[in-house]
Amino acid sequence: MTEQLPQIREIYLEAFRWFDAKRAAPVINVSFYPYIGINHTIRVRDGVVYVRIGEICREMPLPCHKGLAYILVGKLLRKKIPSGAREVYNAYIKSDFVREKATSNKAERGRKVVTTTKGEVYDLDSIFDTLNRDYFSGKVPKPTLTWSARKTFRILGHHDGTLDHITISRSLDSIDVPRYVVDHVVFHEMLHIVHPVRIINGRRYIHTPAFKRDEEKFQYHDAANRWIEQNVRRLKRAAKR
């Protein structure tokens, strides 16, 4: 694939000309980069465009590289991406082969920042065990639990099935946050273990109807969602301190 880099570079030059035929095409540097997942970047530094394509796409056919080029250049120039570009690129990255490869890379090379389950106010181990007993008859295998390294407000919880890991935002470890709110977020992430992601015809289904039905079984489901909606600004201020 190294010998194909000049061809890929020409595709990016073609994309720049397509979006703005009157502007002189820039100097473009294209390389593969060992991102863990399906990631790519395009940046401009000192007038030079640097494109980094995820290593996972080394074997990607040139027509799919063309689709990716129009997507990246379109985003860089803030232009409308032509029809068909996403479809031809997605046909490759949503294939079972690529997704399995991405999962394997993440398991082998991925790293999570693990802090502690014991926060200043709440203990994630205790919360998990109580929820597991009350809602799942103790059948949910315990993953690695941790508070996030920093306070966040956009993402309050995250489950990583590949690394068997649940992270809860440190923003919730506060005396100002009701226990049922923390329980609600942990419960939601536990449901990702019970209802793993399904891939049907290349499309990922995360919050399935069954997932949503089970989520509503949490006793304080509505109250917790209401509290989060009403306190987003408070969580945002706390995260920025």
What is the predicted pLDDT for the residue at 209? 92
Among residues 128, 9, 116, 127, the alpha carbon closest in space to that of 62 is found at 9
- What's the rounded Cα separation, in Å, for the pair 25 and 183? 54
CATH topology of domain 124-240: Zincin-like (3.30.2010)
Instruction: Please give the C-alpha separations between residue 195 and each of 27, 51, 53, 60, 68, in angstroms, as whole numbers.
Output: 47, 37, 32, 31, 32
- What's the rounded Cα separation, in Å, for the pair 100 and 62? 21
Whether the predicted pLDDT of 67 surpasses 90: yes
Whether the predicted pLDDT of 58 surpasses 70: yes
Across residues 218-240, what is the average pLDDT?
92
Contact criterion met (CB below 8 Å) for 182 and 122: yes
Give residue-wise pLDDT tens across range 185-227: 999 999 999 998 877 765 678 889 999 999 999 999 999 999 9
State both tokens at 151.
Answer: 């306070």
> Domain limits of the chain?
2-109, 124-240
Place of tokens 């919880």: 157
Q: CATH topology of 2-109 equal to that of 124-240?
A: yes
pLDDT above 90 covers a percentage of the chain that reads 63
**From the candidate CATH numbers 3.30.470, 1.10.10, 3.40.50, 3.30.2010, the one assigned to the domain spanning 2-109:** 3.30.2010
